[in-house]
Chain A
Amino acid sequence: MASALAVDVAVLGGGPAGLAAAAAAAAHGCAVALFDEGPAPGGRLVGQLHRARDGRWRVGRDEAERLRDRAAGAGATLVTGVSAWALAPGWEVYLRGDGDAPRRCRARALVVATGAGELAAPLPGWTLPGAITPGAAQVLVNVHGLLPGRRALIAGADPLGLEAAQLLEVVGAAVLGIHPVAGPDGAAEPPADALRRLVATVGRAAPSPLLRAGGRLVRRRAVARAAVPLLPRTVAGVPLRLREAVVALRGDGRVEEAELAAVGADGRLGARRRTVAADLVCVGGGLRPLVELLAGCGCELVELPGLGGTVPLHGPDQQTTAPGAFVAGGVTGVEGAAVCAAQGTVAGLAAALAAGAPQAARRELAAARAEVARQRATAPVRFHPGLERARARQRTLWEARCAS
């Protein structure tokens, strides 16, 4: 491959958003190159595996393959094993990879679809080999076919943790429980709040009928507090233990046990401790958009906790404040793969138009935008409660920016 490429549209990130963007732009005649760090495109989607409320498994690998084929079939060039380390407006993408990987890519328009990364939930012992993120469990088990341990504990009672519990359980690991993580100040989330948060995020899709049914009721704090003792003992066969927090991990050179403490109604930890033997602990602190490349090239960013952190300010066509740079997927806020892909289509069309594609692309924009809204409305999981509010706030900020 040439060391310097020149294309119409460069797409950074080969997850669902990037693949959809590449397909949309290429379908309208643009020369498209997509760059991804991993050995194969698909991003976090490839490892995803969860059971929907109808009991059927959603296999990320299959969906990723469909998206990949569509992008390649439309004529996009997919380059893997290469990292983008800087962007210069104009646009110039600076790349680094092994062997004859390209070093530069000039593009008339850019779609940045770098996704979201996992946040740490530090606790003593979290650096021991065997302590991994829930996302790592997805990748190791479902992509690489490796079960890193046989006795697993989930530290972090959130959508990712629940999915990790499911995927480990299905391949025969003993998943001992889903627990919250104690914070550095020696307290954990009050169980009633943890319940409300769980319901607000996974309630719609919860494999537990009780969580689904109780959803609306539990949103009221008083009801949540009363409901805590009635919590389902298990979620998809895995004990849900919101009243017991993980306070430390221990082992000789690797994770061997986890120390747990009872959590009072106010979140304070009890003095009593319990230790369980575990050789695999998924420690999760949520996801945050990976905006570093955008920050480095002058795109305006805005902080919105409901979207997972700092996101690029963007408009309805996924355009940023940097001319010719569009964004899609997890980098705009943490949402599920279907929403990411829908955003990717919008961004790809808009980028294609910015790069000079025929106006036929414009006719598809409205439908593509509507698809984003539709996917969002029917999304089974919200990664952050308050997502809709945050999206609305983002829109307001964008409109204010345009007006100024």
Chain B
Amino acid sequence: MSGPERIARHPVLGEVGGAGAPVAFSFDGRALSGRAGEPVGVALLAAGIRALRRSRGGEPRGIHCAIGQCMECRVEIDGLGVRRACLTPLRDGMVVRTHRDPGAADG
């Protein structure tokens, strides 16, 4: 099965998604690119990255509600932990890291 993909043109809505300029950011050291202003989690999904963190039991977790309510998508952004990837707009040069709960298995 293929990965997540950006919708070039929506049959009803036309233009959808971030219209910002392409910007560079990193996720756990990996160099990636996304669109300025779109949620960090969306940029990660577009890059094929679904797992944003590991739970205490070592399970992969990612975006679940996409609207900031569930806290499943929490990542560390520019040194600050517990940031919601589904709400935080992507900026050029952002350093994103997996949020690790203490005691989580290395993943």
A and B touch in the complex (CB under 8 A): yes
- Chain A residues with CB under 8 Å of B62's CB are 129-130, 254
Residue tally, chain A, CB below 8 Å to B: 41
The CA-CA distance from A150 to B15 in the complex, in Å, is 20
The CA-CA distance from A171 to B17 in the complex, in Å, is 13
- Chain A residues with CB under 8 Å of B7's CB are 141, 145-147, 171
- Chain B residues with CB under 8 Å of A117's CB are 65, 67, 69
Does A145 contact B87, Cβ atoms closer than 8 Å?
no
The CA-CA distance from A175 to B58 in the complex, in Å, is 30
Ranked nearest first, the 3 interchain pairs of A and B with the lowest CB-CB distance are A145-B17, A129-B62, A145-B16
The CA-CA distance from A144 to B35 in the complex, in Å, is 11
The CA-CA distance from A81 to B38 in the complex, in Å, is 13
The A129-183 residues at the B interface (CB cut-off 8 A) are: 129-133, 135-136, 139-151, 170-171
Q: Which of A36-44, A103-111, A318-326, A376-384 touches B?
A: A36-44
Does B13 contact A118, Cβ atoms closer than 8 Å?
no
The CA-CA distance from A149 to B46 in the complex, in Å, is 11
Does A135 contact B65, Cβ atoms closer than 8 Å?
yes
B59 CB to nearest chain A CB (Å) = 6
Q: Is A268 an interface residue (CB 8 A)?
A: no
- Chain B residues with CB under 8 Å of A146's CB are 4-7, 17, 42, 45-46
Interface residues of chain B: helix, strand, loop or mixed (majority): loop
Tell me whether A253 and B12 are in contact in the complex, defined as CB-CB below 8 angstroms, given that A130-B62, A132-B63, A144-B42 are known contacts. Answer: no
Does A136 contact B37, Cβ atoms closer than 8 Å?
no
Q: Mark B38-52, 1 if CB is under 8 A from A, else 0.
A: 110010011000111
Does B1 contact A142, Cβ atoms closer than 8 Å?
no
Does B66 contact A133, Cβ atoms closer than 8 Å?
yes
Does A127 contact B55, Cβ atoms closer than 8 Å?
yes
Tell me the A residues contacting B by CB distance below 8 Å: 37-39, 44, 49, 57, 59, 61, 81, 117-118, 127-133, 135-136, 139-151, 170-171, 253-254, 256, 277, 279, 290
The CA-CA distance from A151 to B7 in the complex, in Å, is 15
The CA-CA distance from A254 to B60 in the complex, in Å, is 8
6 new A-B contacts at CB < 8 Å, known A141-B7, A254-B50: A49-B13, A117-B67, A117-B69, A136-B65, A150-B5, A151-B1
Query: B66 is contacted by which of A37, A132, A254, A256 (Cβ under 8 Å)?
Result: A132
Does B63 contact A129, Cβ atoms closer than 8 Å?
yes
- Chain A residues with CB under 8 Å of B50's CB are 129-130, 253-254
- Chain A residues with CB under 8 Å of B60's CB are 128-129, 253-254
- Chain B residues with CB under 8 Å of A253's CB are 50-51, 60
Q: Which residue of B lies closest to A137 (CB)?
A: B66
Q: Mark B17-55, 1 if CB is under 8 A from A, else 0.
A: 110000000000000000001110010011000111001
- Chain B residues with CB under 8 Å of A61's CB are 13
Does A142 contact B10, Cβ atoms closer than 8 Å?
yes
- Chain A residues with CB under 8 Å of B6's CB are 145-147
- Which among B11, B16, B63, B67 has the highest number of chain A CB atoms within 10 Å? B67
The CA-CA distance from A133 to B38 in the complex, in Å, is 20
29 A–B pairs (Cβ distance < 8 Å), ordered by A: A37-B68, A61-B13, A117-B67, A128-B59, A128-B60, A129-B51, A129-B60, A129-B61, A129-B62, A130-B62, A132-B65, A133-B66, A135-B67, A136-B66, A136-B67, A140-B45, A140-B66, A145-B10, A145-B18, A146-B7, A148-B45, A150-B2, A151-B1, A170-B12, A171-B11, A253-B51, A254-B50, A277-B1, A290-B69
